[in-house]
């Protein structure tokens, strides 16, 4: 069995694949100040509840964009799982080519996303990752990672509005019934939810123009389900796309030979 772990700024996602299917997937909060012992307690508890012995794990595929948590969770994984570990970065052998100015700047999660999307589509595509940041990535038909666009994440934008203004409240992130808000909450929901829909649609249109192809769009991340229903440009939603990419990278690198 393979354990895939994606360490993001807001969440740590984990999944166990038995060689045929995902038999368990979880989300934990990213807590930078949590100790290795605390994360070990949480992860072992998840495995216990899912009735998966730690000894069944034959390989670990890890992506992280949070260096302090890379060290913490790396210690947990090395201590409690007797299995080889693949730590994904721009130098990891992969079935795509990173064709940008500074490949080392590409986040491991984005690499996993485009590996999974290209494997699924075998064509030019755009991935929209909706998490702590909103990131669009472009890959052409030859499997070349062309670049990205990065904007603040939806929750971050909402928090900044509430924190940096005297009269705007914290709000629940949900779509309003109309674009023209009849009160402050509705107006903020329109600007945030529908505003981000417009941002994504505009960037997708520009990406497609520069790529010279009507590239299909896959959305992933914890907020994908909130945005996707309000736009036709997003054709697929897969909140676990990063884990699938980590699985494919483990397979490509022959991390485990049996399940």
CA–CA distance from 204 to each of 37, 227, 231, 243 (Å)?
Answer: 43, 14, 11, 24
Judge whether 109 counts as a catalytic residue.
yes
Query: What is the CA angle 196-89-251, rounded to 5?
Result: 100
Burial per residue of 171-208, b for 16 or more beta-carbon CB atoms within 10 angstroms, e otherwise: bebebbeebebeeebbbbbbbbbbebbebbbebbeebb
Which candidate in 82, 109, 238, 258 is catalytic? 109
Contact 235, 127 (CB under 8 A): no
Residues labelled as active-site residues: 109
């Amino acid at each position: 069995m393979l354990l895939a772990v994606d360490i993001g700024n807001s969440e740590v996602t984990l999944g166990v694949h038995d060689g045929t299917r995902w038999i368990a997937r979880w989300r934990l909060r990213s807590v930078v100040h949590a100790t290795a012992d605390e994360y070990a307690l949480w992860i072992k508890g998840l495995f216990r509840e899912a009735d998966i012995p730690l000894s069944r794990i034959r390989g670990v595929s890890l992506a992280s964009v949070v260096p302090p948590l890379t060290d913490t969770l790396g210690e947990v994984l090395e201590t409690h799982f007797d299995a080889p570990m693949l730590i994904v970065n721009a130098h990891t052998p992969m079935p795509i080519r990173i064709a940008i100015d500074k490949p080392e700047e590409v986040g491991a999660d984005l690499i996993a996303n485009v590996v999974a999307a290209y494997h699924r589509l075998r064509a030019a595509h755009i991935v929209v990752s909706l998490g702590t940041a909103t990131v669009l990535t472009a890959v052409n038909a030859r499997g070349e990672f062309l670049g990205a666009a990065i904007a603040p994440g939806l929750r971050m934008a909402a928090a900044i509005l509430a924190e940096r203004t005297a009269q705007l409240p914290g709000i629940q992130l949900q779509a309003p019934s109309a674009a023209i808000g009849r009160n402050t909450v509705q107006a903020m929901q329109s600007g945030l939810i529908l505003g981000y829909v417009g941002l994504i649609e505009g960037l997708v249109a520009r990406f497609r123009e520069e790529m010279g192809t009507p590239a299909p769009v896959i959305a992933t991340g914890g907020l994908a389900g909130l945005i996707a229903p309000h736009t036709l440009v997003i054709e697929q939603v897969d909140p676990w796309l990063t884990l699938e990419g980590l699985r494919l990278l483990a397979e490509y690198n022959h991390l485990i030979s049996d399940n």
